[in-house]
Amino acid sequence: MAEPLVVIDGVAKHYGEGAARVDALQDVSLSVAAGEVVALLGPSGSGKTTLLNIIGCILEPSAGKVTLDGETVWDGHWLRSDLRRLRLDKIGFVFQAHNLLPFLNATDNVALVLELAGRPPAEARARAHELLDYLEIGNRKTAMPAHLSGGEAQRVAIARALANGPRIVVADEPTAALDSQRAGIVMDLMRKLAREQDACIIAVTHDEKILDRFDHRFSLRDGRLIDEQGASR
């Protein structure tokens, strides 16, 4: 059985106190293994993005424990002093808007992340080219973001998320801006990288056209985990 890369144990998140308190998450527990691609489903306001941001170490829980890649990172307080380095080393981020820097070409958008992690520029560019080739977009490595299609830009964003070899990739509506064909291509590539790089993908989505690409689907409502389903493939 594959090792768990993400373990969420009794996680809660609330804002405010007393009568003004809002419970965004309540006693949520789940586990995601290496090689798995899972979806977080639910209506707006159900807590999906809050949970994704906790997994991504952007938002701190109010209670519970968070373990990433075998390391407990939150248990009443952050157990890492440098969260920026934690995110850089362990977690890749993909969003609905690709958020590519408009003044850098595809290669440089990916290489920048590697240089921030301390890689020499030549090594960073070589790794960027390798990733763009892996995602079948190497022929667009010198293209500026304005000249990329939506699907191409999203693949560059995925390459950037993978640059430092994270084993955990979190994605917030990664295919919402794409048509059915491009959404399927992007999800198939993400499934491929999860298998080949022994990583896991956790995606918030409302996109019904890609639900069959997930190994598990976790449904939330009013901050609680109400259902878990395996994909019917």
Domain positions in the chain: 4-230
Q: For Cα atoms 77, 116, 204, give the angle at the middle one, nearest 5 degrees.
A: 55
pLDDT of residue 230: 58
Where are any strands of DSSP class E within the chain? Answer: 4-15, 22-33, 37-41, 63-68, 71-75, 91-95, 168-172, 200-204, 216-221, 224-230
pLDDT of residue 129: 95
pLDDT of residue 91: 92
Q: Which CATH architecture has domain 4-230?
A: 3-Layer(aba) Sandwich (3.40)
Return d(Cα 32, Cα 198) in angstroms, integer: 12
Going from the first residue of the chain to its last (233 residues), give the mean pLDDT of each consecutive group of 10, the final group possibly shorter.
88 88 92 94 90 94 95 94 87 85 96 91 94 89 94 88 88 82 82 87 87 90 82 42
> Is the Cα dihedral 51, 111, 145, 148 positive or negative?
negative
The number of beta carbons lying within 10 Å of the beta carbon of residue 126 is: 15
CB 128 within 8 A of CB 161: no
Return d(Cα 166, Cα 178) in angstroms, integer: 25
Q: Residue 192 carries which DSSP code?
A: H
